[in-house]
Structure 1
Amino acid sequence: TDAGVAYIEVGSFVSPKWVPQMAGSAEVFAHIRQQPGITYAALAPNLRGFEDALAAGVKEVAVFAAASEAFSQRNINCSISDSLQRFVPIMDAARQHGVRVRGYISCVLGCPYEGQVSAEQVAPIARELRDMGCYEVSLGDTIGTGTPGATRRLFEVVGAQVPRAELAGHFHDTYGQALANVYASLLEGINVFDSSVAGLGGCPYAKGASGNVASEDLLYMLQGLGIETGIDLDRLIAAGQRISAVLGRTSGARVARARSGQ
């Protein structure tokens, strides 16, 4: 918040049985200092998760589907179609309580079980999420196998069915392609990107997948392109170094490591 980030995904109200790393999100929301004008969001994969998020005071939630049937079954134990149907009561409840809903689609450029994923698989899912009420749909390269060429084609195809102003990019850096894919997305008119401070994260259902593109590296590149975000790079680096120290790991942000001489 102090670095000037206006949208922060704080936690995930998923079953701790399936994703124990996400246990305690309600406690996190209870202890953060929420500032006016800043969005503090959380994932809510089902109605129970939405109700728990609502009880924790969350004002925006995200739902997530997969572009791969195999990943959908392994990740949320149902088909893509069934997962979308699960979101209907969430959307109804969100409208009733004035909660905004964002949509995610995972494995848009590759799946650990099915291999390459076509843009044509992604487009109808994105359109359905938008039609059911998601104000924005983030397309996620969950295992980080995407390349700039594939990324541009993805947004060309999906952008024909969903306005590009309502699409976002989410690129993991497993193959070192995340920043290149962000740049390719910018060329396609995409201007919202998910990132993770210090490059934290991964995916418990995609072995070997690294974290999302590091916020520090993304901000450094955007500043170099003359794109103003209102975010303070030094404060962002400090936040990443702090959480990395708590976790006992080296920051995944190259900019942070360069600045600290690591």
Structure 2
Amino acid sequence: MGSSIVGTSPTEVGLRDGLQIEKRVLSTDEKLALARALIDAGHTSLEVTSFVSPTRVPQLADAAELLSALRPIQGVEIKALVPNIRGAERAIAAGPDVLVFVLSASDTHGARNLNRSSHESLAELQEIVGMASAAGVRIDVSLSVAFGCPFEGDVPVEKVIDLAGTMQQLGILRVSFCDTTGMATLRQVRSLAEALRDELPGIDPAFHFHNTRGLGLVGVLVALEEGIVRFESSVGGLGGCPFAPHAAGNVCTEDMVHMLHEMGIETGLDLTRLIDAARLAEQLVGRTLDGQVMKAGPRSGLHSRDG
């Protein structure tokens, strides 16, 4: 496996998915400092914010200001999540490189998270595609609870493939399949990857795991075995869904990169600088984060025999 896959393309989502549930609301300047640390580590794709209601998610109320500050940075793809038409209008005005439209694979989670069913979200997506095309902005899709819903249980692979097929018909080829609350089994990961390969070869998938039950990196490994090369992760393991019970943090970026590098898979990221970024994130949010490599260091970091 390590010899057949030579590189992956991680997207950092800590600034959005990570910070949206933190009790401490970071200032725009603090978010910029973290973004610059992540870019210095080699990140070329960052999902930095979401244009959601500031009443529901006050942690991301400065979305337009943050995008404005990041826009001059060259060579980095800046993404902003949008849940609906109003969010898309605000985001397009702020000028991200990519709009990430979020919808749920289950109607119950969609109602709790987005106030709309999957098919209602798809109807809005069709309108947003036209808006984004006119503005010259690419649209990606983030499909929440693609492996399991905390309210409905397992989500059938057939339903996920049907939703992704509709997106492909709309001209959207980059879709993130998200294990929003950490319910994915390894069998589900394999089944979805196989189905995407066999039934929707035109889709360019990313897999997005949460570490709720300690299986996040195992999910990455299984997906790699099935040929998935794009992943989303969060610095320090920050993250979780504010509208789903017991949702824990994302797969930790520096832990995932450490694993990939030890497998001989390139990421274009500097692990030492990623660890520095994780420590900065920990300092900014004011609590101990879940990342393991930031605590123990990489396995190649030997100790003095005199120590």
Q: Give the shorter-chain TM-score range.
A: over 0.9
Instruction: In structure 2, list runs of 5 or more residues that go unmatched.
Output: 1-38, 299-307
In the alignment, residue 182 of structure 1 is paired with which amino acid? V
In structure 1, the residue matched to 2:79 is: 41
Once the two structures are TM-superposed, the CA of residue 47 in structure 1 deviates from its matched residue by 2.1
Q: 2:112 aligns with which of 69, 74, 85?
A: 74
**Count of matched residue positions in the alignment of Structure 1 and Structure 2:** 260
In structure 2, the residue matched to 1:119 is: 157
Instruction: In structure 1, list runs of 5 or more residues that go unmatched.
Output: none
Tell me the secondary structure at the aligned position of residue 146 of structure 2: coil
8 Å Cα contact 1:106-1:141 kept in structure 2: yes
Larger Rg: 1 or 2? 2
The superposition leaves residues 66-123 of structure 1 with CA deviations (integer Å, 9 ceiling, x where unpaired) of 1111111111111111111111121101111111111111111111101122211211
CA distance in 1, matches of 2:196, 2:219: 16
State yes or no: 1:152 paired with 2:190: yes
In structure 1, the residue matched to 2:208 is: 170
In structure 2, the residue matched to 1:107 is: 145
Q: Which moved more, 1:18-27 or 1:167-176?
A: 18-27
State yes or no: 1:245 paired with 2:289: no
CA distance in 2, matches of 1:104, 1:12: 12
CA distance in 2, matches of 1:150, 1:74: 24
Q: 2:54 aligns with which of 16, 38, 42?
A: 16
Q: Which moved more, 1:33-42 or 1:217-226?
A: 33-42
In the alignment, residue 3 of structure 1 is paired with which amino acid? A
Q: Which moved more, 1:125-134 or 1:195-204?
A: 125-134
Once the two structures are TM-superposed, the CA of residue 10 in structure 1 deviates from its matched residue by 0.7
Tell me the secondary structure at the aligned position of residue 61 of structure 1: strand
What is the TM-score when the length of structure 2 is the normalising length?
0.81
Give the number of the structure with larger relative contact order, counting CA–CA contacts within 8 Å between residues 6 or more apart. Answer: 2
Tell me the secondary structure at the aligned position of residue 126 of structure 1: helix
State yes or no: 1:195 paired with 2:233: yes
CA distance in 1, matches of 2:192, 2:61: 33
Once the two structures are TM-superposed, the CA of residue 131 in structure 1 deviates from its matched residue by 1.8
The superposition leaves residues 202-258 of structure 1 with CA deviations (integer Å, 9 ceiling, x where unpaired) of 001112111110100110111011111110011111111101111111122111111
Tell me the secondary structure at the aligned position of residue 40 of structure 2: coil
Q: Which moved more, 1:213-222 or 1:108-117?
A: 108-117
Q: Which moved more, 1:65-74 or 1:3-12?
A: 65-74
In structure 1, the residue matched to 2:168 is: 130
What is the TM-score when the length of structure 1 is the normalising length?
0.94
Percent of pairs identical after alignment? 42
Once the two structures are TM-superposed, the CA of residue 150 in structure 1 deviates from its matched residue by 1.6
In the alignment, residue 134 of structure 2 is paired with which amino acid? Q
In the alignment, residue 110 of structure 2 is paired with which amino acid? S
Once the two structures are TM-superposed, the CA of residue 165 in structure 1 deviates from its matched residue by 5.9
Tell me the secondary structure at the aligned position of residue 269 of structure 2: coil
In structure 2, the residue matched to 1:226 is: 264
Tell me the secondary structure at the aligned position of residue 228 of structure 2: coil
Once the two structures are TM-superposed, the CA of residue 30 in structure 1 deviates from its matched residue by 2.7
The superposition leaves residues 143-173 of structure 1 with CA deviations (integer Å, 9 ceiling, x where unpaired) of 1021222210121123333227611100000
In structure 2, the residue matched to 1:65 is: 103
Tell me the secondary structure at the aligned position of residue 193 of structure 1: strand
